[in-house]
């Protein structure tokens, strides 16, 4: 019943999901970035393990891309942005941390309920991987709507992309071209985000979304 291939893939996927929860729990920007790096490392390990256990060498490229882009480049760049712009280092969640966590667990339940009937005849690993990656995507969305700070919204966006890669790694037969294009589009998005952050900062003198919304006349 217990075979190592299944067990390890299962655990690594769970670590990625757990890191998503850890992202929701963080209150400081730098520790947020550290957790994000750890999530990327776990994702790298997942991809590398799948490449090794299923004998699919192209997944090694995915792992390498994740490692270089997500675990090294993006955290370092965000770190520099935070230091350079002298952003206030604590995060003020729009929703309380406890409520966010409850919402997170409900989202995980929702994604499991969604995935289970659809994949009734798939293998346990595929089913689980889909459930996990859908949860990571939903948690990333939750992170984007529950945080006021633009930098943590960017991290939320990046963790959505982590969920997509997790799904791609789990589903056998995702072509490399698709993965590459996803990775690079995220990179482009990141660059645009970076430029945006600087412009927002220049214009409004803050990265707090609630304050910026007042310029659109949305909040009072």
Partner 1 sequence: MTPLLATLYQILQMLLVLALAPLLTGWVRLVKARLVGRRGPSMLQPYRDLLRLLRKEVVLARNASWLFRSVPYMMFTAIWLAAGLVPVFTTQLALAPTADLIALIALLGSARFFLALAGMDTGTSFGGIGSSREMMIAALAEPAMLMIVFSVAILVRSTSLAEIADFMMAGAVGLRISLALALIALVMVAIAENARIPIDNPATHLELTMVHEAMVLEYSGRHLALVEAASMLKLLLYMALIACVFAPWGMATAGSGVAAALGGVVVFVAKLAVGGTLLALFETSIAKMRVFRVGEFLGGALLLSLLGAIFLYVSRGV
Binding site for partner 1 (CB under 8 A): 1-3, 6-8, 10-11, 13-14, 18, 21, 25, 97-98, 101-102, 104-105, 108-109, 112, 115-116, 124, 127-128, 131
Q: How far is the CB of 53 from partner 1 (least distance, A)?
A: 14
CB of 177 to partner 1, least distance (A): 30
Q: Nearer Cβ to partner 1, position 9 or 40?
A: 9
DSSP sequence for 88-99: -SB--BSS-HHH
CA gap 172, 187 in Å, rounded:
24
Please, which residue, 82 or 108, has the CB nearer to partner 1? 108
Query: Which CB atom, from 128 or from 179, has the smaller least distance to partner 1?
Result: 128
Helices (H), the chain: 4-25, 29-54, 58-65, 74-85, 97-118, 124-146, 150-170, 176-204, 209-213
Q: Which is nearer to partner 1, 103 or 180 (CB)?
A: 103
Contact 156, 141 (CB under 8 A): yes
Smallest distance, partner 1 to C-beta of residue 14, A:
4
What do you get for the CA distance between the two ends of the chain, in Å?
59
Q: Could you tell me which residues come within 8 angstroms of residue 77 by beta carbon, excluding any fewer than 6 positions away?
A: 190, 194
Least separation in angstroms between CB 98 and partner 1? 5
């Amino acid at each position: 019943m217990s075979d190592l291939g299944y067990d390890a893939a299962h655990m690594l996927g769970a670590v990625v999901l757990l890191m998503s929860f850890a992202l929701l729990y963080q209150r400081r920007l730098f520790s947020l970035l550290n957790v994000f790096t750890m999530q990327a490392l776990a994702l790298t390990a997942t991809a590398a393990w799948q490449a090794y256990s299923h004998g699919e060498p192209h997944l090694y490229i995915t792992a390498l891309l994740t490692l270089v882009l997500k675990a090294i480049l993006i955290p370092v760049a965000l770190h520099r942005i935070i230091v350079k712009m002298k952003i206030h280092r604590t995060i003020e969640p729009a929703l309380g941390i406890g409520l966010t966590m409850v919402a997170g667990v409900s989202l995980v339940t929702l994604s499991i309920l969604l995935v289970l009937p659809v994949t009734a005849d798939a293998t346990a690993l595929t089913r689980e991987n889909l459930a996990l990656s859908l949860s990571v995507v939903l948690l990333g969305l939750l992170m984007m709507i529950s945080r006021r700070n633009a930098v943590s919204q960017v991290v939320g966006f990046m963790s959505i992309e982590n969920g997509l890669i997790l799904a791609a790694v789990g589903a056998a037969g995702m072509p490399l071209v698709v993965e590459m294009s996803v990775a690079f589009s995220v990179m482009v998005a990141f660059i645009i985000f970076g430029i945006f952050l600087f412009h927002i900062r220049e214009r409004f003198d803050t990265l707090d979304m609630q304050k910026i919304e007042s310029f659109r006349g949305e909040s009072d």
